[in-house]
Amino acid sequence: MHRTNLSCLDTPVSFLIQQSLLEAAEVKPLEQSTRVKRDTKRIGDISEGRVLIALMEAGYAVSKPFGESSRYDLIADDGETLFRIQVKTGRLRGAVIKYSCSSSHTHRGGAQQPYFGQVDLLAIYCPETRKVYLLPESQLVATSAHLRVAPTKNGMTKGVRWADQFELLA
């Protein structure tokens, strides 16, 4: 067995030498962008995990479809029925939780595609409230919607989707 001596790689190089090497190579450090790009995939994965845990705590057996080609993220089993569940991240804006009811492929030149007939439930995880809300397909719209967490300023109640009516309780 041949062993290579790597001690030369462990030799510290002073900051001044590092700086002169960078200047000699005309390598400039990357400038930090003032705008932070949202990692939407990671945000979605966190929401999916939170929904999965909440469903399990509520007594459902939960499965995950293999791959990324299904129109739903999870399958929940209550012992009698299997439910196809699409997970979305909701954002608290004022007195409402805003969420999308469709998938967006506009970044690839496509269009928004609603989930009508392809899911049984839409699960919304809201990081600000740390709660999961389950909406049946009958409550979905083609683009985006919201759940109200506080009364309207004008006192309107007709047609309001109250968040607490859809909250998943363990």
Does residue 33 form part of some domain? no
Does residue 97 form part of some domain? yes
Does residue 22 form part of some domain? no
Q: Which residues does residue 135 pair with via DSSP β-bridges, in sequence order? A: 122
Does residue 15 form part of some domain? no
For residue 120, what are the contacts with CB-CB under 8 A and spacing of at least 6?
83, 84, 85, 136, 137
Does residue 107 form part of some domain? yes
pLDDT of residue 18: 52
Along the 170 residues of the chain, how does pLDDT read in single tens digits? 444 444 444 445 454 555 554 555 554 455 555 666 678 889 989 999 999 999 999 999 999 999 877 888 999 999 999 999 999 999 999 999 998 876 765 555 666 777 778 899 999 999 999 999 999 988 887 778 889 999 988 988 888 999 999 999 97
State the Cα–Cα distance between residues 99 and 146, nearest whole angstrom: 6
Q: Please answer whether residues 123 and 153 qualify as being in contact, where contact means their C-beta atoms are separated by less than 8 angstroms.
A: no
Structural tokens at position 50: 């939170």
* Phi, psi (degrees; rounded to nearest 5) at 167: -65, 135
Does residue 149 form part of some domain? yes
**Boundaries of domain holding 61:** 40-165
Does residue 32 form part of some domain? no
Structural tokens at position 147: 């759940």
CATH classification at residue 90: 3.40.1350.10
| DSSP for the chain, written as a single string | ------GGGG----HHHHHHHHHHTTPPPPPPPSSPPP-HHHHHHHHHHHHHHHHHHTT-EEE--SSS-SS-SEEEE-SS-EEEEEEEE-EEETTEEEEESEEE-GGGT--EEE-TTT-SEEEEEETTTTEEEEEEGGG--SSEEEEESS--TT---TT--BGGGTB---
Does residue 95 form part of some domain? yes
pLDDT of residue 134: 95
Q: How many structural domains compose the chain?
A: 1
